Amino acid sequence: MSPPTLSTLDPVEPFDPIVQRLSRLHPKVIDLTLERLQRLLARLGHPENDLPPVIHVAGTNGKGSTVAFLRAMLEAAGHKVHVLTSPHLVSFTERIRLAGELIAEPYLVDLLEECEAANGEAPITFFEMAMAAATLAFARVHADYLLLEVGLGGRFDATNIIPRTAASVITPIGIDHKEFLGDTLAQIAAEKAGIIKPGTPAIFALQHAESQAVLQAEAASLGAPVREAGIDWQIEPLADSGFRYRSPGLDWRLPMPALRGRHQLDNAGVAIATLEALQTPGFSQDTVARGLQRAEWPARLQCLPADHAVSRLAAPAGPVWLDGAHNPAAAEVLAGELATWPEPPVLIMGALGNKDYRQMLAILARVVKHVIAVPVPRSTAGLPPETLAEAARAAGLSAEVATDLPTALQSAGRLSEGGPVLVAGSLYLAGAALRLSGGL
């Protein structure tokens, strides 16, 4: 498939100073290739050649949670870990973690200025400049591992500028970003498979057969040894508590992860299988267990405390939950969890216009009792809430429109009758909820 023609892959938040600076540098609508970034990194002295071992993670859903588990397990084993993720929820600095700590904003600004000076007047995109700055930081600050989360696709993503990796990880693949990656699972899987490197271990989460065939063929063509969920390792929930991870070399009973949801067992299994494949120093049942219980990843079935600003606005509702589900595959996972709740939640939903929101609502209609549609704050691509409410009614749900998130929370509090409230549909909406109390 040819490269996408747009490089703005998530909405720009104009109120974040770092994003303001990046978005002013150069035009954002440019064909997506790696050539501009390769040129800039050459001018910067090729920092991409001076990185710690890289674990590269692509996929449609579960990338961020898998990275969170990898980081927590590696840190429990005593390693210093760099991390690059996207998008951010509150501040752009969330995207870059240096040896365990979020990058300081003044340091990031210095790096951006250095990259801008090296780039001169040559065209480059928002994300390519951010990747160049992050690569400089990762090369200059010591760490034992670098975890790279793909922003979109894989083959032409800015993170794929890295020439060598220790492992290529691909989480579950679904239909998303069709305008960039293709209309079928096979086309999308081919783009994700672009991160696999010759001779480098490739770790695959459970996949649809169509995606699995593409991934297996690409790995075979590159001589990359493959480990696959359900074949090379199994995850089994235990009746009492925790779960069992089994592979030819291991049979471990482990505690439930700190991240909620049955799907997180699968993400945790991918992380464990990756570290097992790499024979990571310090990798043990104890360090994995501690990592599972320490992992943090906001807005993934996150239950907010009663004293959080969001919970106070929704009073007298029961617990308020945040989830970043923003495509049908993620909605299926979320619906599976909601089906286990004692009562269905009131759903506050905002969505981007390029998402399959109708299919998401059709899935969630089984497990929510009312929808309050809201605009997605700080987004240039948000769906009008009136359109979303109309789609919710077409799916058989009662629905209304609120002008903003605080108003929606107050309405949800009245409608919930003491039951739960769920904010979902977009990570940008979840970020807006977290900003109501000043941060993560």
DSSP conformation letters of 227-262: EEBTTTBEEEE-SSSSEEEEETTEEEEEPPPSS-ST
Domain housing 83? 17-294
Q: How many helices (H) and strands (E) does the chain have?
A: 16, 17
Task: Assess whether 344 and 264 both reside in one domain.
Answer: no
Task: Assess whether 319 and 254 both reside in one domain.
Answer: no
Domain count, the chain: 2
Task: Assess whether 346 and 198 both reside in one domain.
Answer: no
- Asked whether residue 364 is assigned to any structural domain, the reply reads yes
Task: Assess whether 262 and 389 both reside in one domain.
Answer: no
Task: Assess whether 282 and 327 both reside in one domain.
Answer: no
Task: Assess whether 207 and 271 both reside in one domain.
Answer: yes
**Two tokens at 86?**
């996207």
Distance CA 424, CA 212 (A): 29
Domain finish residue from 230, 265, 294: 294
Task: Assess whether 309 and 278 both reside in one domain.
Answer: no
| Among 360, 9, 425, CA closest to 181 | 9
The one-digit pLDDT tens for each residue of the chain (440 residues) are 443 333 333 334 443 566 666 666 655 544 567 999 999 999 999 999 999 999 999 999 899 999 999 999 999 999 999 999 988 888 889 999 999 999 999 999 899 989 989 998 888 888 898 999 999 999 999 999 999 999 888 899 999 999 999 999 999 998 766 566 777 999 999 999 999 999 999 999 999 999 999 999 999 999 999 999 999 999 999 987 899 999 999 999 999 999 999 999 999 999 999 999 999 999 999 999 999 999 999 999 999 999 999 999 999 999 999 999 989 989 999 999 999 999 999 999 999 988 899 999 999 999 999 999 999 987 778 999 999 999 999 999 999 999 999 999 999 999 999 999 999 999 989 999 998 876 66
The CA angle 438-406-322, to the nearest 5 degrees, is 65
Task: Assess whether 269 and 348 both reside in one domain.
Answer: no
What is the reported pTM? 0.91
- Asked whether residue 370 is assigned to any structural domain, the reply reads yes
Task: Assess whether 48 and 152 both reside in one domain.
Answer: yes
Domain finish residue from 249, 273, 294: 294
Distance CA 315, CA 230 (A): 43
- Asked whether residue 132 is assigned to any structural domain, the reply reads yes
Domain finish residue from 253, 273, 294: 294
Q: How far is CA 222 from the centre of its chain?
A: 27
Task: Assess whether 28 and 160 both reside in one domain.
Answer: yes
- Asked whether residue 344 is assigned to any structural domain, the reply reads yes
The CATH number of the domain where 353 resides is what? 3.90.190.20
Task: Assess whether 275 and 355 both reside in one domain.
Answer: no
